[in-house]
Structure 1
Amino acid sequence: MKTVSNVVNGYPHVSADVRRRVEAAVVDLGYRPNASARTPRTGRTGILALVLPDADLPYADEFAREVVHAAGGRGYRVVVERGHPSPGQDDARPMPVDGVLLGAPASPSTAAGRPVVLVGGGVPDPRCDQIRVDLAAAAEDATTHLLRAGRRRIAAVGAYPVGPDGVPRPGTVGYHRALRDAGVTAVPGYLLPGRHDRRADGYRAARDLFAGPDRPDAIFCFSDPLAIGAMRAAFDAGLRVPTDVAVMGVGDIEEGRYSRPTLSTVAVDTGFLAREAVARLTARIEHPDTTVAEVIAPHTVLARESTDVPAR
């Protein structure tokens, strides 16, 4: 019984052979954990919380669906909350849940003592498991794609040179690394921060770039919504995408797959993010002393029309 419990609840220290045998039996029997039946025995609610930021997380909706699906397979329900408590209010909101998947820029104290797994590309916390995207590698791969397309004046929108702690942000590090490896000098003024990952922010940043004396021939945006805003700014400035300026984002949101032109992007494996996050959280609920782990989600560069200049 203990071995089955360990497998079903995602405890990592189970041999591959035993895990395969238990999972095969689960499929054969059509077993689904009954969270409500476990509650009187364990004192747990059978509910997980997913906390997402107020701003547009590029793949938030798809990620939330994947989390609900992954949690359901382990007998849990999920409540989704947008935003996070105001400063100083974290501990005033005890959450009636067994654990928290935290995708918002908030302190783990938001969970009021519940197990926490951090999701995304934020700053690691030694107290929490983290399932994240390697933002430095993603930015480097996106910038390298633009360089291989023949672009040399590449701007970055949504990037902050350094964080509040004075440490360079991972995405900015990857952007500069790609330029340096290609022997391309970064142009002063081409690194534009964005307060949010919204279309309007991308529009305003790109509009300012196009109005300057040294217009870029490519813009790498740190999210798809920013990139979609940038493409609109290019259209309003009388520029053609990608002939005059290539545009690239991050997130592979559905809107970018059907925009005109379709948006080149760095796709994040949201299914992997969700499955790993739920597995780590349920394992920590069952075994609070489980060693803290960091898992990197894979990403893929998807070249579409916004960076691919058509033949004349």
Structure 2
Amino acid sequence: MAAVTLKDVAERAGVSIKTVSNVVRDAPRVSPATRERVMRAVHELGYRPNPSARRLRTGRSGLIALAVPELTTPYFADLAHHVRTEATALGLTVLIEETLGDPAEELRLATGVGASLLDGVILSPLHVTPAELAPVADEFPLVLLGERSFESEHVVADHVLIDNVAAAREATAHLAGLGRTRIAAVGVDQKASATSRQRLEGFQQALHAAGLPFDPRLAPRVKEFDRRNGLLAMRSLLELPPAARPDAVFCFSDMLAVGARRAVHEAGLGMPGDIALAGVDGSQEALYGTPSLTTVVPDLTGIASLAVKCLAARIRSDSPLPFEVHVAPHWLQARESTLGGSVPPAP
């Protein structure tokens, strides 16, 4: 069966081949009605752009990459879904890559090495430094996700993030507002990552505002932001003398909170009666486990939309664009682990 061409789509939609090309490339100055008619014809005929021909014609392939530390982490799996959705709406195809936090792999993917057809990369780095990324972003379309590791540094690339200090401060303030006075922090990692540092800062700010002291014994170190480390950290907290044990815990990720929830259950304790628990990420595991977890929910749709649109603009621009930092919204979703009772899942 012959491949569907731009001419076929144009005839079906009753427009010129140039108009179809503009719609497929998401070019401006196409009316919404015309765009809808062309896209309907595209879907009806099953038209698929030819990347090789597109590359020759425009110098672009329409292929971008999303590189994240771990695809097994629900946060990054959800993020990948939203990035793909946003990219598809702009006529882009997404290649998903996993770096495992290896700085050499992060830098390799940031430069598009190994995938010569890539038009640009969205990268969530853990360890590669701004100094290493600066020359890359000057030559290749790049958007960064997550924390800025060195807040005093100038902006070296477009960056999309949430305010981690504010997120941690709000979650901890919620726990203090419930009358909890011995609040622990699970997520001080051994690698001193930007995420850990910023969430610890917000945690300490909330303690100070509530007139509560910071007790280092209530901030056990973890190796990773995963379920097992949350379990082990909570077990260590429950082994403290009774007078020193926490009555609330803020976990720096939902996966840490899921592990901590298991440890509380093992100890025969109740939530929030004995221990109130909160996390960050807005994951499905936080919502549907028992008890449901209070969590800070980042706007993943907003993060993905900002990242994809920033990258698309940089790819399509014929002149250098200034680098910008975009802060996406977040909100606190209070549930059973701090409120008690039966809190129905959000729709």
Q: If the length of structure 2 is used for normalisation, what is the TM-score?
A: 0.76
Q: Which residue of 1 aligns with 2:115?
A: 95
More displaced stretch, 280-289 vs 239-248:
280-289
Residue 30 (structure 1) shift: 4.3
- CA offsets 1:18-64 (integer angstroms, 9 cap, x no match): x8x75735654444895735321222221110111037545111111
Q: 1:257, 1:263 within 8 Å by CA — same for their partners in 2?
A: yes
Residues 160, 177 of structure 1: alpha-carbon distance in 2 compared, 3 angstrom cutoff = farther
Q: 1:220, 1:248 within 8 Å by CA — same for their partners in 2?
A: yes
Specify the SS of the correspondent of 1:307. helix
Distance in 1 of aligned mates of 2:135 and 2:283: 28
Please give the residue correspondences for 1:249-260 in structure 2 after superposition, counting only pairs within 5 Å.
249-260=279-290
Please give the residue correspondences for 1:269-284 in structure 2 after superposition, counting only pairs within 5 Å.
269-284=299-314
Q: Which residue of 2 aligns with 1:15?
A: none
Residue 291 (structure 1) shift: 0.9
Residue 109 (structure 1) shift: 8.0
Q: Which residue of 2 aligns with 1:175?
A: 203
- CA offsets 1:203-228 (integer angstroms, 9 cap, x no match): 00000001012110011001101001
More displaced stretch, 92-101 vs 65-74:
92-101
Q: Which residue of 2 aligns with 1:155?
A: 184
Q: Determine whether 1:243 maps to 2:264.
A: no
Q: Which residue of 1 aligns with 2:292?
A: 262
Distance in 2 of aligned mates of 1:246 and 1:269: 24
- CA offsets 1:61-92 (integer angstroms, 9 cap, x no match): 11111111110111110011112585556459
1:117 to 143, 146, 158: 143
Residues 302, 27 of structure 1: alpha-carbon distance in 2 compared, 3 angstrom cutoff = farther
Residues 168, 244 of structure 1: alpha-carbon distance in 2 compared, 3 angstrom cutoff = closer
Residue 187 (structure 1) shift: 1.8
Distance in 2 of aligned mates of 1:180 and 1:201: 27
Higher Rg of the two aligned structures: 2
Q: Which residue of 1 aligns with 2:172?
A: 143
Specify the SS of the correspondent of 1:98. strand
- CA offsets 1:120-144 (integer angstroms, 9 cap, x no match): 2242672210000110000001001
Percent identity between matched residues is 36
Q: Whose RCO is larger (CA < 8 A, sep 6+)?
A: 1
More displaced stretch, 73-82 vs 183-192:
183-192
Residues 190, 296 of structure 1: alpha-carbon distance in 2 compared, 3 angstrom cutoff = same
Specify the SS of the correspondent of 2:66. strand
Specify the SS of the correspondent of 1:44. coil
Residue 256 (structure 1) shift: 1.4
Please give the residue correspondences for 1:54-133 in structure 2 after superposition, counting only pairs within 5 Å.
54=70, 57-83=73-99, 86-88=102-104, 90-91=107-108, 93-96=113-116, 97-107=118-128, 108=133, 114-123=140-149, 126-133=155-162
More displaced stretch, 39-48 vs 70-79:
39-48
Q: Which residue of 2 aligns with 1:24?
A: 32
1:234 to 264, 270, 295: 264
**2:265 partner amino acid:** F
Q: 1:131, 1:294 within 8 Å by CA — same for their partners in 2?
A: yes
- CA offsets 1:101-160 (integer angstroms, 9 cap, x no match): 101325348979531101122426722100001100000010011111121111111125
Number of corresponding residues: 297
Q: 1:200, 1:226 within 8 Å by CA — same for their partners in 2?
A: yes
Distance in 2 of aligned mates of 1:146 and 1:155: 10
Structure 1: state its 5+ residue gaps: 10-18
Residues 168, 274 of structure 1: alpha-carbon distance in 2 compared, 3 angstrom cutoff = closer
Distance in 1 of aligned mates of 2:75 and 2:184: 23
1:296 to 319, 327, 333: 327
Distance in 2 of aligned mates of 1:162 and 1:88: 16
Q: If the length of structure 1 is used for normalisation, what is the TM-score?
A: 0.84
| Greater helix fraction, Structure 1 or Structure 2 | 2
Distance in 1 of aligned mates of 2:35 and 2:337: 44
Structure 2: state its 5+ residue gaps: 1-17, 43-47, 343-347
